[in-house]
Amino acid sequence: MATFSEEAFQTKTGRIVAIRHCTSDDIESYLRFQPRIAAESTHTLQVMGREPNRDSLKMAWDSALADPVALRLGAFADGQMIAHLGMYFDSESPHPWTNHIASFGMMVVKDFWGEGVGRRLLEIMEAHARTCGVTRIQALVRVKNERGVRLYTRMGYEIEGTRRHGAIINGEPQDEHHIAKLLQQEATWQPPVLETERLILRPLQLEDAESLFEYAHDPKVTEYVSWEAHKTVSDSRNFILDYALRNYQKKVPEPWAITLKSDTSRVIGTVGCFWVSKNAKAMEIGYALGVPHWGLGLMTEAARAAMNFCFTEFDLNRIQSRCIVENKGSARVMEKLGMRFEGTLRASLSRRDRFWDLHHYAVLRSEWFKNE
């Protein structure tokens, strides 16, 4: 088993967790951890009253130490194990055609759910897997384990199928997802950094959650958009994880973070284009901007850069956009960008217990480059 120095990991709420390889010295801590996991959920293989045999556990853990691929990570808070991840080959002597595949299992106590510990364990596991030639990592996850499924899909794991009645727990059949990640195909694409007279447009990062929240929770910003105001910084973090980073994995330039040249670390808005129809070669542009920056032409400046990139880099014939009829500011941005008004779809958006009319605008490739 590979070795690395103990890592002090700070959770989202500021708690310090020590992450290290487990050894047989940690077995007693694991034996206190196991019944806690079993009592808190049925999402793992741990069962109340079914305590692992100490001697068998020690033998397995000692054996793992000699295996260059096997990984057994423990996360500890106040000296107690609060999470565990194991990565392993499915058999002692993997077939030469399948020795690139490893499986894993992970458990986190409920008190640390949503704290980032699971994500950090997965990051360490993937880095280790790459060093020892593993290019496919797989696992089973219960369909009802929605939090786990969300974490894995955020991290780039794909659901490849569902094993029906993979477990029967308390008499109730439980389905399980087969999930996997191909490390050699891991998406690394991000939209490029774009520069305008006053702005830098760059990819969103998790570190941007707090500055994004500053404007995304403002009811003035969200008054006439299709999404709801963010209630917490976690909402902004989830937007980056579930929407922005997943779009980047699909090579979709939506969204860029809009920043001022004077402070590129602070996000003041977002802009980006997503596919409406690849067959029709059509994208749609969306954008948002913090209130202190309204009325300065910044949104038009940012949108023009994004649209020019998309028309240049993609096989694209049309970029369209929509806005609620009452959103006069957004309509002005579209008009300044040279987009033509194409009509109003009545009652085409249901939001906040009412139906809204939407103005539709678009510009074609031939019109864009003629105007530019």
pLDDT digits 0-9 by tens, 122-168: 989 998 898 888 999 999 999 999 999 999 998 889 999 999 999 99
Give residue 185's pLDDT: 57
Task: Give the lowest-confidence range in 180-184, 253-257, 311-315, 357-361.
Answer: 180-184
**Whether the predicted pLDDT of 10 surpasses 60:** yes
**Whether the predicted pLDDT of 61 surpasses 70:** yes
Work out the pLDDT band at 44, boundaries 50, 70, 90. Answer: very high
- With H, G, I as helix, E, B as strand and everything else as coil, classify residue 30: helix
Give me the half-sphere count of Cα atoms (radius 13 Å) on the Cβ side of residue 287: 27
Summarised one tens digit per residue, pLDDT across range 16-36 is: 999 999 888 999 999 999 999
Within 10 angstroms of residue 272's Cβ, the number of other Cβ atoms is 27
Give me the half-sphere count of Cα atoms (radius 13 Å) on the Cβ side of residue 362: 17
Give residue 4's pLDDT: 64
Contact 319, 283 (CB under 8 A): yes
Average pLDDT score, the chain: 92
Task: Give the lowest-confidence range in 70-79, 164-173, 237-246.
Answer: 237-246
Give residue 260's pLDDT: 98
Work out the pLDDT band at 345, boundaries 50, 70, 90. Answer: very high
User: Which residues does 237 contact at the CB level (< 8 Å), separation at least 6?
Assistant: 206, 209
Q: How far apart are CA 346 and CA 134, in angstroms?
A: 54
Identify the H or E element spanning 162. strand 158-169
Within 10 angstroms of residue 137's Cβ, the number of other Cβ atoms is 21
Give residue 218's pLDDT: 97
Give residue 103's pLDDT: 95
Task: Give all strands of the β-sheet with 172-182 in edge-to-edge order.
Answer: 7-10, 16-21, 71-77, 80-88, 101-108, 136-142, 172-182, 158-169
**Whether the predicted pLDDT of 348 surpasses 80:** yes
SS3 percent helix, strand, coil of the chain, rounded to 5, is: 35, 35, 35
Q: How far apart are CA 338 and CA 334, in angstroms?
A: 7
Closest CA to 362 of 323, 326, 329: 323
Closest CA to 182 of 134, 139, 136: 136
Closest CA to 299 of 325, 263, 260: 260
For 227, the token pair is 């999404």
For 173, the token pair is 């059949």
Summarised one tens digit per residue, pLDDT across range 63-103 is: 777 788 888 999 999 999 999 999 988 776 778 889 899 99
113 or 66, which is more confident: 113
Measured CA distances, 139 to 50, 172, 259, 345, 368 (Å):
22, 22, 39, 46, 48
For 301, the token pair is 């400046």
